[in-house]
Structure 1
């Protein structure tokens, strides 16, 4: 590709043939070593940027990014849909609606429909204890702006 440059070879090729002696070649390569280091760091940044471009907020890509960054060997982080329980209301006698409650469960406010989270990220407890900020930063970077999430320990 156009960005793959071998600066050691370039230093030799740009010298006139009469000056291609060991000391002159070493001097030319020493002069080009800061540029080679800068080029190497640019290539690493380019690879990191392409990684960010290629991965989106889809569940499969988000799970891959989280496992690549935080749980490389065991890949235990996974994502599921958020809870969306319908709300149950208790009516007064004046409203002339049924008051019978039946069997009810009490949920957190974030678990109800249209007020809760859109997806839940399940992560091992050791990752949550040590790298919770990095986990939240990665999720926030890759998720869509309108989506809400919650992190739960496994």
Structure 2
């Protein structure tokens, strides 16, 4: 924080009081009257120093609901999960996947001399994952999007991930009718302050969904 934005309110108040009126009772009374102005100044300055960028939005969320954790913007997603930090990730939207016939999708055979063999084709094999491998986030199955995926469904612009520990200790309250233990489904946060904070900092027109996670997931 720049020094010119830091006000020493006690010293400023003392300087503004005429010497003849610098009594403790008078000073304490004026200090009480100055407290609302002090609070408004600090809150406004804090808001001006943060924007809708991901690192700032993550910092604001962690300072508001996860103050015991030290937020580091240089951590990657896996490190943020291991540190039980609130973090933001892009939304999952289906991408267009094309199904090719063998005659449409092939790789030519390259001979040792660098030429292409006539009439000889190598058909790429489909990669098959086991059920256990599907659970790994790094191995995602191919999803063939339907027209309704683009016309009937509204997707959020980004996702906010909250450690399950904050829900367990009631720091963040969720809708009791919504299942929290399913990590693939969005949860409904009941804290109005949470939504007010996100709506204040996020870019206009951007939407979000909230998910819970456990470091063991």
TM over 0.5: yes
Q: Is the counterpart of residue 69 in structure 1 residue 64 in structure 2?
A: yes
Cα offset, 1:36, TM superposition: 1.4
1:61-90 CA-to-partner distances (Å, cap 9, x unmatched) read 0000001111112351000001121478xx
* Partner of residue 143 from structure 1, selected from 197, 202, 207: 202
Unaligned runs of 5+ in 2: 72-84, 98-141, 173-188
* Partner of residue 30 from structure 1, selected from 25, 28, 33: 25
Cα offset, 1:40, TM superposition: 3.4
Q: Which residue of 2 aligns with 1:14?
A: 19
Unaligned runs of 5+ in 1: 16-23, 89-102
Higher helix share goes to which structure? 1
Which deviates the most, 61-70 or 37-46?
37-46
1:84-123 matches, within 5 Å, as 84-86=93-95, 104=143, 115-123=154-162
Q: CA RMSD in A?
A: 3.4
Structure-1-length-normalised TM-score: 0.65
SS at 1:37 equivalent: helix
Q: Distance in 2 between matches of 1:127 and 1:112?
A: 34
Cα offset, 1:35, TM superposition: 1.2
Structure-2-length-normalised TM-score: 0.48
Which deviates the most, 74-83 or 144-153?
74-83
Q: Distance in 2 between matches of 1:128 and 1:136?
A: 16
Aligned length: 127
SS at 2:89 equivalent: strand
Q: Distance in 2 between matches of 1:62 and 1:70?
A: 12
Cα offset, 1:47, TM superposition: 1.2
Q: Is the counterpart of residue 41 in structure 1 residue 36 in structure 2?
A: yes
Q: Distance in 2 between matches of 1:40 and 1:52?
A: 19
Shift of the 35–112 alpha-carbon distance from structure 1 to 2, 3 Å rule, reads farther
Tell whether the 8 Å contact from 2:94 to 2:145 is kept in structure 1 after alignment.
no
Q: Distance in 2 between matches of 1:3 and 1:82?
A: 44
1:13-48 CA-to-partner distances (Å, cap 9, x unmatched) read 622xxxxxxxx96xx331332211222332232111
Tell whether the 8 Å contact from 2:87 to 2:162 is kept in structure 1 after alignment.
yes
1:92-117 CA-to-partner distances (Å, cap 9, x unmatched) read xxxxxxxxxxx75689x8x8588301
